[in-house]
A and B are shown apart, each in its own frame.
Chain A
Amino acid sequence: MKFALLVNEGPFTHQASDSAYLFAKAAIEKGHEVPRVFFYYDGVNNANKLSEPQADDRNLVKLWGALAKDHEVDLVVCVAAGMRRGIKDDILAEGFRISGLGQLIEAGLGTDRLVMFGD
C-alpha cells in the first residue's frame, strides 16, 4: 500500500514530526511504500539544515534525509509556508525539495492513504 504523510509541525515544539517519522519507518518495514512526505505549516522547519540539536538529542532533519535516501521518499516543503518562515533553497537540508501545495493534493490522489500529523 502507498502512504503519503502530511507533517504540520516542526521538530522542537511538538511530537508530531517524530510520530510521522516513526510511522513512516514502520510502514516501510512492513513492506509498504511512502512515496511522499509533505511539510506544511511549521512542519517546514523539519527541512532546515542550519538546525543544530544538542549531541544527546535526535537530529530529525538528518533522519528524514537518510529515510529519503534509503527508501526513495520524496520530501516536499510547501513553498508558501516555507517562504513565510524563511525556509528557502539555500538552507534546505539534503533530501528535501521545495514545491507547491498542489503536491499535497497530488499525493492525496496518487496514494492509498494520506495520514496527517500535527497539533
Chain B
Amino acid sequence: MLHTVNKSPFERNALESCLRLAKKGSAIILFEDGVYGAMAGTAKSDMVASRTGDYEFYVLGPDLAARGIAEDQIIGGVKVVDYGGFVDLAADKGTVQSWL
C-alpha cells in the first residue's frame, strides 16, 4: 500500500494517524504541507526518523523546493521523488490511501 500525507505534523494529526494505522512495510509519501514532516532537526522529526525501519518514506521534491527546503535538510533514509516518482509509487505499491 501507498499512504499519502499532505498535512504538516505541527498542525494536524494526519501523519500521526498514518503511522499508527499503516501496516509495517508500507510506503509513505509526504507532499504539500506534509513535507515539513520530513525535515531533520525539528521538534517533530523523530516521528519519521524513528520509523525508517518500519516504512519506506518518500517526499515530493517540487513541494520541498516550493517551501524553501533543501534536500540536505531532509531526514536520512527519506527519498526525494518528483511527480513521476509519485506516480510510480502509486502504480507499484498497490492501493493508495490518502491521510487528509
Contact = CB atoms under 8 A, between A and B. Distances in A.
Interface of A: 1, 3, 8, 15-16, 19, 22-23, 25-27, 29-30, 32, 112-119
Contacts of A118: 98, 100
Q: Looking at chain B's contact residues, is the secondary structure mostly helix, strand, loop, or mixed?
A: helix
Contacts of A19: 6, 31-32
Chain B, interface size category, equals 10 to 19
Contacts of B10: none
Given A19-B32, A118-B100, A113 B91 contact: yes
A115 B91 contact: no
Interface stretch (B16-24, B39-47, B51-59, B81-89): B81-89
**Closest 7 pairs between A and B when the two form their complex, measured CB to CB:** A26-B83, A116-B98, A27-B87, A26-B84, A115-B96, A26-B87, A15-B32
B69 interface: no
Q: Looking at chain A's contact residues, is the secondary structure mostly helix, strand, loop, or mixed?
A: mixed
B90 interface: yes
Contacts of B84: 26, 29-30
A118 to B, nearest CB: 5
B98 A26 contact: no
A112 B31 CA distance: 22
Contacts of A116: 96, 98, 100
